[in-house]
Structure 1
Amino acid sequence: MSTERIETVVVGGGQAGLATGYHLTRRGRPFVILDAGERVGDAWRARWDSLRLFSPAKFDGLPGLPYPGPGWAFPTRDEFADYLQAYAAWAELPVRTRTAVRRVSCEGGRYVVETDGDLRYEAENVVIAAGYDRLPKTPEYAGRLAPDIRQVHAVDYRNPDQLQDGPALVVGAGNSGADIALELARTHRVLLSGPHPGQLPWHIDRRPSRVLAPVLFFLFRRVFTVRTPVGRKLRPKVLAHSAPLIRVKSADLTAAGVERVARTTGVRDGRPVLADGTAPDVANVVWCTGFRPNTSWIDLPVFGPDGEPAQQRGVLEGQPGLYFVGRLFQYAMASSMIQGVGRDAEHVVRHLVARATQRPAPAGTTPLDAHDRSSSG
């Protein structure tokens, strides 16, 4: 295995990684972005076919390049993925696709980033801009459902054609569950299982939202932060619970014929059992039950008992040179949103550059500009 030495490795080529790359480029720092997808934006292309963003296009641009098109349109999954691909090309970012990172560790005062190929990287800094909450979470009793029930997790759901004829139980009533239930209701009888998480009191794609959305996004960026009492009070609730329904409303589900049922608690005779003791006879189960973290590839002592990194606005003081961008409520409610990653990325890069200027260059190395790469075997 050969080794490439570079000042900074950014893990993840989604919006958080690309925004970080933009600010690193502006500062003239040498770096590389590693992404597992075939193309930039493939993490979005892998989601269900009818997905649209919750934020209007005017709030969906990354630093330096506004999202093109009508400002109050809601981009589709593929449209936003294409924008990310175009952004990487526009900013001339050194993204290396088809490069999955399998381990990040520290050796001899430098970070080592191992990939699934024949190349590893040694770096002074690593920016984790890839979500690690990507292991589908399903209850243990899912394996006891009868084999004639087709099971699909939301991460693998694409469209109703994946399901067989007959009723569908959607487990999990958050945004993903509500969106998928509404789509499935066109072709299936749908039961939506789980408590109602609440909902925004207005329709995001109607004209009044053009007044309300800017106010909401201002709150997300400027008011709901770790620096304000209201933000500090809100943060643990956001980390612990699903968000309220944003696009789909309860009335939409009712009008489409979606039946709300109690929480799913187990299995009896191969059929799902609800909290009220009933066992609906369904042909399909769609698990919209979220994800669990997989941090095994980050081989560093940086996670607390809650599974979150012990960070301050993306900076880990106890692990110099390691940074996070794009985490849920990392600094503000907007931190994991498209409109929030640029500000957090800029803060992280500012800290990274300050650290680099204070640190003497390692022996045997030469300065690199943003487009010069050196390798050694």
Structure 2
Amino acid sequence: MEKEFDLIIIGGGQSSLACGYFLRRSDLDYLILDDQETCGGSWPQTWESLTLFSPSKFSSLPGFMMPSSEGNYPSRDEAIAYLCAYEERYDFPIKRNARVTKVALQNGIFHIHTADGKQLKAKAVISATGTWQKPFIPEVPGRESFQGIQIHSAEYQNAEIFKGKKVLIVGEGNTGAQLLAEVSKVAQTVWATHKQPEFLPDDVDGRVLFDLATAKYEAEKQGKPFDTSLYHLGNIVMTPAVKEARERDVFKSKGRVSAIKDDSVVWENGDREEIDIILWCTGFGFATDHLSGLVPRDSRGRISTEDTRCKDVPGLWLVGYGGWTGFASATLIGVGRSARQTVKEVVEYIKELK
């Protein structure tokens, strides 16, 4: 007979590993499906100079501390090495190169279809596919007619292709600021933002933000007000690269782009400016296409949940997609809390079925 798992986790990144850690304490028969060839989740696809916002001791998954980093903040390669070591340490059951294309529900059993034509069955599913595979670019009039190069930050690796070009960087968040800092060293850059960018104090990093976010979370749970005016949680973190770029005075936003015309962009005031490359640092949707036929989703791929549990489909959980699937669940240090609670709920759900 075809094997039926208690649980299948879709995705092989930090969220699935956190769930796997807590599953060690259960007797569930489970499998992690990862569409990548190697360990590290989406981290190997990020840009070369990317670093975390927090020191290593504040950037760990449950049970195993991240080693000290060479710099103030762990680099991309150090984060990858840590995730690979974490995976090896706990010997999770992972199947690689397994891209899930569809999840269906038949007679209370989930049927998980993969791109190679195979099908697996499970009593419960945790979707932990994150956001990286769903880059978002806003609809700007004329964007399709642009004759230059357009790339999203998800495709960015380094500044090599930008040398000597005039580059428009779109986005006022951390990614926009960090890539502007890097690209401005080798190219003429212009910054487009939806609103005026705001920067955090120099001594505020991801650890401080996590502590503030935790305090806000706890206050909201108790129905108490919380003043975040001191450090707005969405403001730009002053990494060493951003501080260096500030000294070069590169952080001057020209406001919003209202249209794109062939080889140029049109600003809100009507001015037209020629551009060679547009780098979109405009965020991501949610990589939940594999659930499209199973449960309603909004335009960005978001699904209605109560914490991590899907409201519409019993036996389905979503972990690590951001605030709507658990407090700080898209971060290394934050995902442990929602992973622990999710695994507890899954174990209880499977127990009730037996």
Distance in structure 2 (CA, Å) of the matches to 1:250 and 1:72 = 15
Report whether the alignment pairs 1:116 with 2:108.
Answer: no
Q: Which position in structure 2 is the counterpart of 1:68?
A: 67
Distance in structure 2 (CA, Å) of the matches to 1:232 and 1:319 = 34
Distance in structure 2 (CA, Å) of the matches to 1:216 and 1:288 = 21
> Aligned-pair RMSD on alpha carbons?
2.8
Q: Which position in structure 1 is the counterpart of 2:44?
A: 45
Q: Which amino acid aligns with 1:65?
A: F
Report whether the alignment pairs 1:200 with 2:193.
Answer: no
Q: Which position in structure 2 is the counterpart of 1:19?
A: 18
Instruction: Render the CA deviation track for 1:269-306: whole Å, top value 9, x for unaligned.
Output: 53111112122222221111223345332022243687
Distance 1:101 1:306, change over 3 A: closer
Q: Which amino acid aligns with 2:114?
A: T
Distance in structure 2 (CA, Å) of the matches to 1:242 and 1:134 = 24
The alignment's TM-score, normalised by the length of structure 2, stands at: 0.88
Distance 1:294 1:40, change over 3 A: closer
Q: Alignment partner for residue 235 of structure 2, among 244, 256, 264?
A: 244
Deviation at 1:308, TM superposition (A): 2.7
Question: 2:324 aligns to what SS in structure 1?
Answer: coil
Q: Which amino acid aligns with 2:55?
A: P
Counterpart contact for 1:48–1:158, Cα < 8 Å: yes
Counterpart contact for 1:222–1:332, Cα < 8 Å: no
Question: 1:178 aligns to what SS in structure 2?
Answer: helix
Q: Residues 46-195 of structure 1 correspond to what in structure 2 (within 5 A)?
A: 46-69=45-68, 73-132=72-131, 134-138=133-137, 139-140=139-140, 141-146=142-147, 149-194=148-193, 195=195
Counterpart contact for 1:165–1:283, Cα < 8 Å: no
Distance 1:65 1:231, change over 3 A: farther
Counterpart contact for 1:125–1:352, Cα < 8 Å: yes
Q: Which position in structure 1 is the counterpart of 2:294?
A: 300
Counterpart contact for 1:174–1:242, Cα < 8 Å: no
Question: 1:130 aligns to what SS in structure 2?
Answer: coil
Q: Alignment partner for residue 270 of structure 1, among 257, 263, 281?
A: 263
Counterpart contact for 2:51–2:74, Cα < 8 Å: yes
Distance in structure 2 (CA, Å) of the matches to 1:142 and 1:306 = 20
Q: Which amino acid aligns with 1:255?
A: E
Q: Which position in structure 1 is the counterpart of 2:332?
A: 338
Report whether the alignment pairs 1:285 with 2:296.
Answer: no
Say which is worse superposed, 247-256 or 157-166, in terms of deviation. Answer: 247-256
The alignment's TM-score, normalised by the length of structure 1, stands at: 0.83
Question: 1:55 aligns to what SS in structure 2?
Answer: coil
Q: Which position in structure 2 is the counterpart of 1:255?
A: 247
Q: Which amino acid aligns with 1:171?
A: V
Counterpart contact for 1:3–1:119, Cα < 8 Å: no
Distance in structure 1 (CA, Å) of the matches to 2:300 and 2:273 = 35
Distance 1:323 1:113, change over 3 A: same
Question: 2:259 aligns to what SS in structure 1?
Answer: strand
Q: Which amino acid aligns with 2:258?
A: T
Question: 1:155 aligns to what SS in structure 2?
Answer: helix
Q: Which amino acid aligns with 2:315?
A: G
Say which is worse superposed, 190-199 or 222-231, in terms of deviation. Answer: 222-231
Deviation at 1:94, TM superposition (A): 0.7
Distance 1:231 1:69, change over 3 A: farther
Task: Give aligned pairs, total.
Answer: 344
Counterpart contact for 2:124–2:350, Cα < 8 Å: no
Report whether the alignment pairs 1:221 with 2:207.
Answer: no
Distance 1:323 1:269, change over 3 A: closer
Question: 1:151 aligns to what SS in structure 2?
Answer: strand
Distance in structure 2 (CA, Å) of the matches to 1:307 and 1:53 = 26
Question: 1:23 aligns to what SS in structure 2?
Answer: helix
Counterpart contact for 1:310–1:316, Cα < 8 Å: yes
Counterpart contact for 2:46–2:156, Cα < 8 Å: yes
Distance 1:174 1:70, change over 3 A: closer
Percent of aligned pairs with the same residue? Answer: 27
Q: Which position in structure 1 is the counterpart of 2:342?
A: 348
Deviation at 1:71, TM superposition (A): 10
Q: Which amino acid aligns with 1:59?
A: F
Deviation at 1:332, TM superposition (A): 5.1
Deviation at 1:233, TM superposition (A): 11
Instruction: Render the CA deviation track for 1:162-207: whole Å, top value 9, x for unaligned.
Output: 2252221111121111100000111111111112342222334xxx
Counterpart contact for 1:326–1:341, Cα < 8 Å: yes
Counterpart contact for 2:319–2:326, Cα < 8 Å: no
Q: Which amino acid aligns with 2:31?
A: V
Counterpart contact for 1:314–1:323, Cα < 8 Å: yes
Counterpart contact for 1:88–1:95, Cα < 8 Å: no
Unaligned runs of 5+ in 1: 235-240, 361-377
Question: 1:292 aligns to what SS in structure 2?
Answer: coil
Distance 1:37 1:331, change over 3 A: closer
Counterpart contact for 1:112–1:120, Cα < 8 Å: yes
